[in-house]
Structures are given as C-alpha cells and as structure tokens.
Amino acid sequence: MSDDVQPSVAEVRAAVAAVKAALDRHLEAIENRIGDDDPAVYEAFEALASAAESYDELLYDTYDEVTPFEVPSGEAMPEYSGPADPEAFSVLIRRDYTVAEPDRLFAQARRAGDGESAADASVSAAIGVVFGEYEPDEVAQRHKEFGLEEGDSTLWVAAVEPAEPGEWLDAPFDEVDPQLVLCRFDTSAVFDDEVGALDAD
C-alpha cells in the first residue's frame, strides 16, 4: 500500500474484528463438523486465512508491525508416505540472498583469500571465495558483514535409503520426493522471521 493511501485506525480495528469473528465461525464449523471433508470447515478455514492476511497487511501498513502467525499457502506438502523408522535421512537447505553491498562482499572475499585479486574479478568469484572459506551457517549468521541481505529460506528433512559414499554427488538434488519429507521449516522475511513446521504426524 502506498504512503499516500494509508489505512485508518478504524480500518485496522475493523480488520481485527473480522479476524475475531472468523475465529468464532471456524471453531463453530469444527464443532459441528459433518464427516472428515465437511466443506463448511474448509470454507471457514479459508475465510479465517483471508481475514488474518488482511489484518496483517493493514497492521504492517499502519504501525509497521506484524502478527505472530503465518497464513499457510494453498500448495501444501503432500502427506508423508515414507517409513515410520527411516534408516537414513537427508537435510536439504535453501537460503536466498541479495547482494546488497558488493564492496563489503569483495572486502570479505579479499580477507578470506589472503588478498588474492581473483576475489575482485566478479561478484560470482567473490561468492565462491567466501563460501569456500566460511561454513554456510556462519555466512547466514554474519550475512550483513558480507554485504548480503537475507531472503526466504527453507529446510527439509527427508527420509532416504542409505547411500554409498559419493553415490549421489553428481546430481544431489534431482530426486527429492516431497512425500518423504519428515518435517519442514520455512522462514520468510514477509513474516519477520516467523518459522513454520510441517511435521510428519
């Protein structure tokens, strides 16, 4: 929402009242559920999600604050169908960054590479030097020092068959089956580092 069309305090209060009413309707639909796939429960859920999202947006636009809950997207993970007691599992992590301050990135790359000029060749070369020297978790913790801005991130823990050393290194991300994801943790700047988990149960 642009700065010249700011929501009023009354609009924010009306939005929170809508969330409260949607919560009541959602609980009522659950209490009066008819079968596992009662459309009334689904409709109440969607109405609650919409009301919560609207309130969150108005709250942010008016007070620069966010709510502590995340509205789930429509593209939910499929139900876990792997073994109850997996013999092995993989941890898959994606973290997105924007290069906000290239000069900081180059400076860190020069320090990591003992002043080697290759670190100044390009942003991609500097990134290679930095990640060759620092663990990804350290980069995540110190990203501002590296001139980076955090984007969204996700971590999946997926059941797998035990693998021989080096067996899958040529194509490590080609066979990720969402139905084998034991749990998942998402972090998004949209929700101010709110973390959501999808457990296998």
- Average pLDDT of the segment spanning 99-123: 80
> Given this model, what pLDDT does residue 72 score?
54
Tokens standing for residue 69? 């809950």
CA distances in angstroms from 97 to 50, 60, 182, 188, listed in the order given: 29, 23, 26, 12
Distance CA 185, CA 39 (A): 28
> Given this model, what pLDDT does residue 40 score?
87
The per-residue pLDDT for range 32-52, each reduced to its tens digit, is: 988 877 888 888 888 888 888
Buried b (16+ CB within 10 A) or exposed e, 27-42: eebeeeeeeeeeeebe
The answer to whether residue 190 scores a pLDDT higher than 60 is no
The answer to whether residue 147 scores a pLDDT higher than 90 is yes
pLDDT band at 21 (very low <50, low <70, confident <90, very high): very high
- Average pLDDT of the segment spanning 12-34: 92
| 187 or 108, higher pLDDT | 108
The answer to whether residue 74 scores a pLDDT higher than 70 is no
The answer to whether residue 114 scores a pLDDT higher than 50 is yes
CA distances in angstroms from 50 to 22, 54, 170, 175, 194, listed in the order given: 9, 6, 43, 34, 18
- Average pLDDT of the segment spanning 144-171: 90
The answer to whether residue 196 scores a pLDDT higher than 60 is no
> Given this model, what pLDDT does residue 182 score?
83
Distance CA 69, CA 53 (A): 10
